[in-house]
Chain A
Amino acid sequence: MVVNAETMQPGRAAKHTDAVVFDAVSFAYAHSPVIYDVSLRVVAGEMVGLLGPNGAGKSTALKLATGVLKPQQGEIRLQGDSLRSLSRAEVARRVAVVPQDFSVQFAYTVRQIVEMGRLPHMGVWGVSRVDDRLAVQAALEATNVSPLADRVFNDLSGGERQRVLIALALAQDAPIILLDEPTAHLDIRHQIEVLDLLRRLNHEHGLTVIAALHDLNLAARYFPRLILFNREIVTDGPPASVLDEAVLSRVYQTPVQVGILRGEEHLSVLPPGYSMAERGEREREPSLAPGTYVHVVAGGGSGELLMRSLADAHIAFSAGPLNAGDSDATLAERLADLCIVEPPYAPVSEQGIASAREHMLNARAVIVCPIPLGHGNIALLQAALAARQAGVPVLLLEPTRNLAASDGQADASAGDDESAFAAIRARDFSGQGMELYRQLLAAGARWVATNAEAVSALSGSQAFL
C-alpha cells in the first residue's frame, strides 16, 4: 500500500532540507508580547522537543509555525517558502498539527475523524479517491487505531484519542508534524506509547517532528534535539547541553537536579530531595552574599562579551534590570547568577531599579557597560553613583578608549577622556548621562577599555579593589 513512494525522489527531498525556519520572529497578543526575536532552524527529518515553563510561548510558537497566528515581526518559512506566500491548504499539506486533546461536536467515528485529515488534498466532494482511502487506512494502521475505527471518538480514552489525533495528522500526509504536549493527561504507559510512535514515524517515515513537552525526562529520552524556550530561545542543542541544572532552575524557577540514573544512559531531571532543596536555597543565596559578586549594568547587547568573559573567569555576577527579549537578558539568564528581568519593551520599573540599587550596594564591584542612556538607564547610573559613594568600586566599560589607547596614549589623558565622552554623548538621549559619568569619575569610578581589563581588575588583587 504505497501512497507516494515513487514520487519521493531524493532530489526533491534534498531541495527542502529546511523544514521550519523562524527568522527573527516576534509576536504579541494585543499588548502583551509573547515571543521576541526568535530565530530557529529545524532541518527535515529532525525530531525536536520544545521545553519551557507554562506560559513560555511554546503553543504560540507552534501556532505561528502553522500560520494560525501571524508574527508582528520576522518571517517564518516552511520548506523554504514564506508562510505569507502559502495558502491555508498549502500549509496544511506541509504541516500537520496534533492539538492538545479536544472534544468533537457530534458522534463522529474514529475513521470519520481521520478522514478529515484528507481535507487539504481533496476536491469539493469529500473523501472519495482511492489514495485518500489508502492514506486514511495507512494512518489508522501506523498508529494502531484500526481496531477502533468504528468507535465513536468521544467515547475513547485519553491515550486512544491521542493516537487518533496523530492518525488524523498522518492522514494529512504532511512531511512536518507539530504536537502540542502530546503526552499531557496520559498515564506513563500511554506517554511511552505515543512517544515511541512518534520516534518510529520519525525514523521510518522521515517525518519531521516538533513537539512541545512538559516532561523533561521523556523529552531527554526521545528527542535528540531540545530547545529550552522561555519567550525566546534560552538553549538549543542535545539533551546533555540543554538539561543544565543551573539553567533549568532559573528558567523554571525551582531547584532541580540533573544526573544519570544508575543503569541508565539518559539524563534525568529530578526535583531535589528535601535536603538538597534546602542546600539549593542556601547555595543560591550565598553565591550572592554581599561582597562576593559583581553587578553588571548592560542592555542591547552591550554586555554580551563582558558576561561571557566573566563566566569564563568564574566570576559570580548579577545583571539587570534587563528587558526580557533583550539579547543581554537571554545571555544573562544562562550565565549570570542572578538576573533582574523586566517585561519586554517596558520602561525600567521602580522595583527593578530598587533591586539593582540593592545589588550594586552589596556587590564587590559594579561594571557599567556602554548602554544607551535613556531615562531608565539614567536611574541605573544614579544607583551606580550611590554605590560608588558607598565605597563600591565602579568600572566604566568604554571600548572607544581602546582605540585611543592604541594610538600610543596609554595613560588616561584629557584627550582620551574626550573620545570616551564623545561616545557617551552620542548615546545620551536624556541629556543627563554625561553629567553622571563626570560625577562617577569624580567619585573614583575607573575606565576600563576591554573585557580582559575588567576581568583582570576583578580577579587580581590590584590596589584598585
Chain B
Amino acid sequence: MTTTIQPSEKPKGASGAADLQAPHQPVTAPGAKTSSSTGQLAHRHWRVGLLPLLALLLVVAMIVAGAFGEVPISPAHTAAILLNQTHLFHFPRTWPVTDEVILLQLRLPRVAGAALVGMALAVAGVLFQGLLRNPLADPLLLGTSSGAALGASIAFVVPALFTADWFGFGLIPVLAFIGALLAVALVYWLASRGGHTPVVTLLLAGVAVSAVLTAIQTLIITLNDRLGLQISALYLWLAGGVDVQTWVQVGVIGTLTLLGVFGALLLAPTLDAFALGEEMASHLGLRVERSKLAIVAVAALLVAAAVSISGLVGFVGLVAPHVCRITLGPRHRFLIPAAGLTGAIFVVVADLLARTLASPSEIPLGVVTALVGGPFFLWLLRYAGRRYTW
C-alpha cells in the first residue's frame, strides 16, 4: 500500500509545469509567502556556481604556485608552458628550457601533491566530523597521525639496506601509509562490541591508541642511537611538508584520493542522515553500522594517502570543512566537493608560502597551515559565522 499525500489547494498541472521550468524552485501554494523561496533560489544558484569558481581558483593557485620559487618563472610563461603541454596551443618559446624542466619536473608534481593532500585531508575532515558529530573532529584523530608517525619512525631506524622503491615511494611514505591504516583498523576493532561501534567509544579508543602509539614511537627514537643526525629529518617529517618528486607518485596518490572523494560523495546522503542521530538514520532505512564502517574506511584511506606524502599537516582537515559549512550550509553533497577544493587551494598556497617565505630554507608546511589557517578561522568564526550553530 502506498500512501499519497495530496495537498488539496493546488492544481496539478500548474505545479508540474513550474517544476519543469525551474528544477530547484520550491512549488509553493497560492497565497503562501514567496519572498523566502525566491531568496533561496538565488542562494542555491549562488552555491552551485561556487563549485566551478573554487575549481578555477584552484587552477589559478596552482599556476601561481608553479611560477614562484627559487627560480621565478612569470605566471604568463607558466600558463603558456602548461597550455603547450596540452598540444592544443603552440605559444612560441620565449623562456629558457630550464624553466620548462623546473616547472614540469620539479615544481608541478609538488604543487599537485599539495593539492591532493589538501583535498584528501579536507574531505576526510568532513567525513569524521559528520560521523562523530563533533566539531573538534580532525582527520588525524582516530589514530591516523600517531600510526603514520610510528610507521615513519620505524622507516627512519630500519637499516639502510632495506631502502625500497615502490612506484617512486621510499620506505617512509609506505610505512606511514600502512601505519595510518593499521591504527584506524585497530581503533575501530577496539571500539566495536557485538557488531556495534558507538562513536563516543570510537573517539576515546582513538585517543587511547594514539597515546600508546606515540609512546612506542618516542621509545623507538630514544632507544635507537643510530638515529643520530636523522632525528632532525624525522622531526621535519612530523612537522609536515609535501614530499613528491615524480609524476608517478602524483598518479598513485591522485588515484587513491579521487577514489576516496568519490566514495565520500556516495556517502553524502548517509552523512546527512547521521546528523539526525543514528537511531533516526536507521529509521530512514540506513544500515547504521555498515555505514559507519564505510565512512571510517574511506576517511582512513584519504588520510593515509595524504599523510604518506606530507607527514602530519594539521588544521586543514579541521578548518576547511568548517569554513565551507559556514558559507555553504551543511548538506554533504555540496560540502564534500567544496571542502575538497578549499582544502586543496589552502594547502597549495600554504606550500607556496612554506617554500618561498624563508627561501632558500623551507618552513614546515604544518607551521604555515596553523599560522595562516588559525587566525583566518578565528576571524571567520567571530565575524562571518555568528550564526554558525552546531
Contact = CB atoms under 8 A, between A and B. Distances in A.
Interface of A: 1-5, 7-8, 12-13, 16, 44, 66, 68, 79, 87-93, 95-97, 99, 102, 104-109, 111-113, 116-117, 119-120, 122, 124-127, 130, 133-135, 137-139, 141-142, 146-147, 149-150, 152, 154-155, 170, 172-175, 201, 204-207
DSSP class of B's interface residues: helix, strand, loop or mixed?
A: loop
Contact of A116 (B6, B36, B272): B272
Contacts of A155: 389
Nearest to A151: B36
B389 A149 contact: no
A1 B6 contact: yes
Contacts of B388: 107
23 contacts: A1-B6, A7-B2, A13-B1, A44-B1, A66-B283, A88-B286, A89-B285, A91-B285, A92-B285, A93-B285, A95-B283, A102-B277, A102-B280, A105-B130, A105-B274, A107-B325, A116-B276, A116-B284, A119-B285, A139-B5, A146-B32, A155-B389, A205-B3
A106 B325 contact: yes
Contacts of A133: 19, 23, 27
B16 interface: yes
Contacts, number: 165
B254 to A, nearest CB: 23
Interface of B: 1-7, 9-10, 12, 15-16, 19, 23, 26-29, 32-33, 36-37, 39-40, 130, 133, 266, 268-269, 272-277, 279-280, 282-287, 325, 329-331, 333, 387-390
A149 B282 contact: no
A147 B15 contact: no
B331 A1 contact: no
B91 to A, nearest CB: 40
Contacts of B276: 102, 104, 113, 116
A154 to B, nearest CB: 6
Contacts of B275: 104-106, 108
A68 B2 contact: no
Contact of A174 (B3, B273, B279): B3
Q: Which among B5, B36, B282, B329 has the greatest number of chain A C-beta atoms within 10 A?
A: B5
Contacts of B283: 66, 68, 92, 95-97, 99
Given A119-B286, A120-B284, A4 B39 contact: no
A207 to B, nearest CB: 6
A363 B287 CA distance: 57
B310 to A, nearest CB: 28
B280 A88 contact: no
A87 B389 CA distance: 35
B284 A92 contact: yes
A168 to B, nearest CB: 8
A8 B5 CA distance: 12
A169 to B, nearest CB: 9
Contacts of B266: 124
B26 A135 contact: no
A152 B389 CA distance: 10
Contact of A4 (B2, B32, B133): B2
Contacts of A124: 266, 269
B65 to A, nearest CB: 32
B285 A88 contact: yes
A68 B279 contact: yes
Q: Which 6 A-B pairs rank lowest in CB-CB distance, beginning with the nearest? A: A92-B285, A106-B330, A120-B285, A89-B285, A141-B7, A138-B5
Nearest to B335: A106
A137 B133 contact: no
A366 B288 CA distance: 55
A329 to B, nearest CB: 31
A72 B272 CA distance: 32
Given A1-B7, A175-B3, A119 B16 contact: no
B279 A138 contact: no
A134 B19 contact: yes
A173 B269 contact: no
Given A112-B330, A119-B286, A133-B27, 4 more contacts: A102-B280, A108-B330, A124-B266, A150-B39
Contact of A108 (B36, B269, B284, B331): B331
Contact of B269 (A107, A126, A137, A154): A126
A297 to B, nearest CB: 41
A105 B27 CA distance: 27
Nearest to B28: A146
Contacts of A134: 15, 19, 27
A92 B284 CA distance: 5
Given A1-B10, A16-B1, A174-B3, A116 B26 contact: no
A66 B285 CA distance: 10
Contacts of A93: 285
Given A99-B280, A149-B37, A175 B285 contact: no
A460 B272 CA distance: 72
A104 B275 CA distance: 6
A1 B133 contact: no
Contacts of B15: 1, 134, 137
Contact of B329 (A8, A104, A107): A107
A175 B1 CA distance: 6
B390 A105 contact: yes
B26 A119 contact: no
Contact of B6 (A3, A90, A172, A207): A3
Contacts of A7: 2
Contacts of A113: 276
B100 to A, nearest CB: 41
A172 B286 CA distance: 13
A442 B247 CA distance: 102
Contacts of B19: 130, 133-134
A175 B2 contact: yes
B2 A135 contact: no
Contacts of B286: 88, 119
Given A88-B285, A102-B276, A120-B284, A5 B5 contact: no
A124 B12 CA distance: 29
Nearest to A97: B283
B329 A141 contact: no
A112 B331 CA distance: 8
